[in-house]
Structure 1
C-alpha cells in the first residue's frame, strides 16, 4: 500500500508468476475537500486491517479479508491532522497521534472501533515543568508500543516522553532528557522494559520505561560542527546492537563486543553517482542528466570517499552487482580534464578493461561526445557560478544538487567538508573529481539484476514468521466477519419485529393516531386559551384581542 499528498490510498498487487507489481493499483481517493493529504498508514500484524491518518483529522480503516480491499470505517475523534499511527505487535489495537495534543488507543469491539483518550496535557504529581511549558499547546510528534503491548510511549513537542498504560490510559511516567523534538522511538525486539529515543538534539537515550529511568545516554558530537541530528534508529534482531543515521550522513553502530569487523571497511563510503543531477524526459520519467539513462539501467557505481576518490579494488566488490567482477573491471581509468577556468584536474572518465583498445570507432566517438557535452555543461555552470557575488560563495547558501567548480567548494578536512552549515541538515555536494557515469553494458545490467542488496531470511525463520502472520490474519478475518454477521442478524431481527408489530397493531395504531390528534387539539386549544388569559390579565379591562 502507498499513501500520498494527492489524498489517495493505492493497493498494489504482487504477481507471484512474473514477480512484479501490477501497474494498475486499486485506488481510494480520500479527498473530501481540496488540499487533503494522507500522512501515515499502518498494517495490523495479520495484514487484514489498514489504518491511515490524514490532514482532514480523519482515520480511515480498510479491510483486506475479501477479494478486494474495502473501506470499513471513518473515525473522526481527532480535531487536528493525524500524522502518527501504529498497530500493536500482537493484536488488533492501534495507536494514533495527532497535532491536537492527544493520542488514542483504538480497539475493535462489536464491529466498532472504540478508543481510550491520552491527553498530553495530563500531569503527574511532582511535575517540575516550567510555566512556559505548562501553557504550551502540546502536540504529539511520535508514538510507539513496547514489545508486549502493555505500554505505549508518546513524544510531545515540549521534548518530554510520556509513558502510558495501554489498557487503562493511565499516565505512568514522564521521561525528561531531550532538548529538542523527538522523532525516533524504537522498542527492544524482546525486552518489554527497554525503549530507545533519539531526536534533533543529537541525543540517544535508552530508557527503562517500567521504572521511568534512564539507562544510557549518547550525544552525537561531530568535531568542528557541533552535533548531528539523529534521524532514525533500529535494533538488531538479537537486541545486542542498534544502528542510527544522522543529518551529516553518518551511520552510527552501537552494541556489545568488538568493533574490529567494522574496521575492515573504509570510514567514508559513497557512490560516485550520489547527488548527480537528474532530468525528466517527455514522459516525465527520471533520467541521469549526463548519460540520459534511467537510473536503474546505469551500471553499478564506483565506491568513493567523501572527496570523490575511488577506493581500492577490494572495496569495489562491496557494491551490489560487482561481487564477482574481475579486477580489470573494478579499476577506473583516470584522465585529465580541463575546467572552465583553465584548471586541469585528474578525473575518472571510464572503466579500464581488457578490450578498451579494441573498442569500435562508433563507441569511442559516442564517449567523446558525452564527455564534450559534459564539459560544455560544466563551462555553463562555471559561468553561472562566476555571476554569483563572492560574498555568497562562502558555504552559507543553500546547497543544490549539481556540479560545482572545485575552486568554489568548501575547503575543509575530509571528515568535515561538503555539508550544509549548521547542526541539523548535512547535505553533501558532489565533487568535480568524482567518477563520471558510463553507459551500461549488457554485462553490467545482468550483474545489476543478480545483485543481492539484502540477504534472504533463513528458511526456518521465514516459515515461523509467515505462520504467525497467517494465524493472526485468520483471527482478524474471523473477528470482522463474525462481528458483521452478528450485526446483520440483529438488524434483520429488529426489522422483522417491527413488521410483526405493524401488522398486528394496525387498529391500535389508528386508535393511537386518533388519540394523538385529540390530544394535540386539546393542547393547542388550552395553549391558545392560556395565551389569551395572559393577554387579558396584562391588558386589564380592555378585552379586545390584540391586532
Structure 2
C-alpha cells in the first residue's frame, strides 16, 4: 500500500514478504494454506494487513509487519451427500471450497470471497442478520444476453448496445431461472442498500439458512442453467 513491502505467494502455498528498499525477506515464509493460493489482497486502510485465500477454502488475514497470521476464516466444509448418505470428500485443490477471487470492502471492515461454483461468502463484523435475509440466487436479467465485440474490442451487450459490464447497473435482480424478485429487492439493489423497514420478516429469530442450503442453491442454479442451455425443460 505504501510501497515499502513486496508480498507474494509461491507455488509452495507460502506467503513471502520483502523489504522493498533492501530486497531482503523480512521474515521466514508464512505457511498456513493447504491448497494453492490465487488470492492476495492488501488492506485498503491499514498498510500492515493483507489477506490470502486459496483452494483449501481458507482465508488468512496477515500482519505483514510482524510476519504472523491474525485470523483464519474457513468456508463451510462439504455436507453429507443425501444420495449416498456419506460425507463428500473434496481435494484441497478443487471443489466447492476452492476460492478463486476475493476482495476487502473499501472501508476494510469486511471481505468477500468467491468459489468455483459462483457462490460467494462474506466475512465481516456485526451480526449479519440483514445479509442472511438476502435472496440466495443473485443473477442479473442480462446475464445470458448475446454479446458482440465493438470496434475498439470492448464486449457489447447486443440487446442494449451498451458495454456488457455496464448493463448490470440497470438490470433486474433475478433468481437462477431469470425471474425478477419483487420490491423492495430491486430498489435495494439499485441503491446498493438494505432497506430494513421494507423487507418483511417475522422476528429476529427467523431461522438462518444452513450450509447445506447455501451449497445446494449454488449447485441447483448451475445445473438449471446448464439444462436450459441444452434445451432441457426445467420445472
Provide TM-score, normalisation by structure 2: 0.63
Distance of aligned partners of 1:212 and 1:283 in 2 relative to their CA distance in 1, 3 Å threshold: closer
SS at match of 1:308: coil
SS of the residue corresponding to residue 417 of structure 1 reads: helix
User: Which residues of structure 1 form unaligned runs of 5+?
Assistant: 1-146, 324-411, 421-426, 435-547
2:128 is aligned with 1:259: yes
Per-residue deviation at 1:282? 11
Query: Structure 1 residue aligned with 2:9, among 141, 155, 159?
Result: 155
Shift of the 282–223 alpha-carbon distance from structure 1 to 2, 3 Å rule, reads same
RMSD over aligned Cα atoms: 3.9
How many residue pairs end up in the alignment? 190
Q: Compute the TM-score of the two structures, normalised by the length of structure 1.
A: 0.30
- CA deviation map 1:439-481 (0-9, x unaligned): xxxxxxxxxxxxxxxxxxxxxxxxxxxxxxxxxxxxxxxxxxx
Residue 184 of structure 2 aligns to a residue in which SS? helix
The answer on whether the counterparts of 1:230 and 1:245 sit within 8 Å (CA) in structure 2 is: yes
2:176 is matched with which residue? 306
Cα gap change, 1:295/1:263 in structure 2, threshold over 3 Å: closer, same or farther?
same
Cα distance in 1, alignment partners of residues 216 and 99 from structure 2:
22
Residue 512 of structure 1 aligns with which residue?
none
Distance (Å, rounded) in 2 between the aligned partners of 1:282 and 1:184: 33
User: 1:178 matched to which residue of 2?
Assistant: 33
C-alpha distance in structure 2 between counterparts of 1:232 and 1:293, whole Å:
28
Counterpart Cα distance in 1 of 2:55 and 2:130: 29
Distance (Å, rounded) in 2 between the aligned partners of 1:176 and 1:200: 14
The separation in 2 between residues aligned to 1:166 and 1:231, in whole angstroms, is 27
The residue number in structure 1 matching 2:138 is: 269
Where do 4+ consecutive residues of structure 1 move more than 6 Å? 280-285
Structure 2 CA distance for partners of 1:310 and 1:206, relative to 1, 3 Å: same
Question: What pairs up with 1:11-410 in 2 under 5 angstroms?
Answer: 147-171=1-25, 172-221=27-76, 223-224=78-79, 226-278=95-147, 286=156, 288=158, 293-295=160-162, 300-320=170-190
Q: Distance in 1 between matches of 2:152 and 2:109?
A: 48
Q: Distance in 2 between matches of 1:216 and 1:149?
A: 24
CA distance in 2, matches of 1:414, 1:241: 23
TM-aligned CA deviation for residue 305 of structure 1? 1.5
* Structure with bigger RCO (C-alpha 8 Å, 6+ apart): 2
CA distance in 2, matches of 1:195, 1:279: 38
Equivalent residue, structure 2, for 1:352: none
- With over 3 angstroms needed to count, the CA separation of the structure-2 counterparts of 1:213 and 1:287, relative to structure 1, is closer
Shift of residue 194, structure 1, vs aligned partner: 2.0
Structure exhibiting the larger radius of gyration computed from Cα positions: 1
Q: Distance in 1 between matches of 2:125 and 2:227?
A: 36
Specify which structure has the higher proportion of helix: 1
- Whole-angstrom CA distance in 2 between matches of 1:250 and 1:315: 19
CA–CA distance in structure 2, aligned partners of residues 308 and 222 of structure 1: 29
Return the offset for 1:276: 3.6
Which residue does the alignment assign to 2:220?
417
Once residues 156 and 281 of structure 1 are traced to their aligned partners in structure 2, the CA distance between those partners, rounded to angstroms, is 38
Q: Is the 8 A contact 1:204 1:218 kept in 2?
A: yes
Q: Give, in whole Å, the separation in 1 of the partners of 2:115 and 2:5.
A: 28
Summarize the Cα distance change of 1:261–1:311 in structure 2 as closer, same or farther, 3 Å threshold.
same
List runs of 5+ in structure 2 lacking aligned partners.
80-87, 89-94, 194-214
Q: Is the 8 A contact 2:137 2:221 kept in 1?
A: no
- Following superposition, the deviation at residue 295 of structure 1 comes to 5.0
Alignment of 1:424-439 (within 5 A): 429=226, 431=228
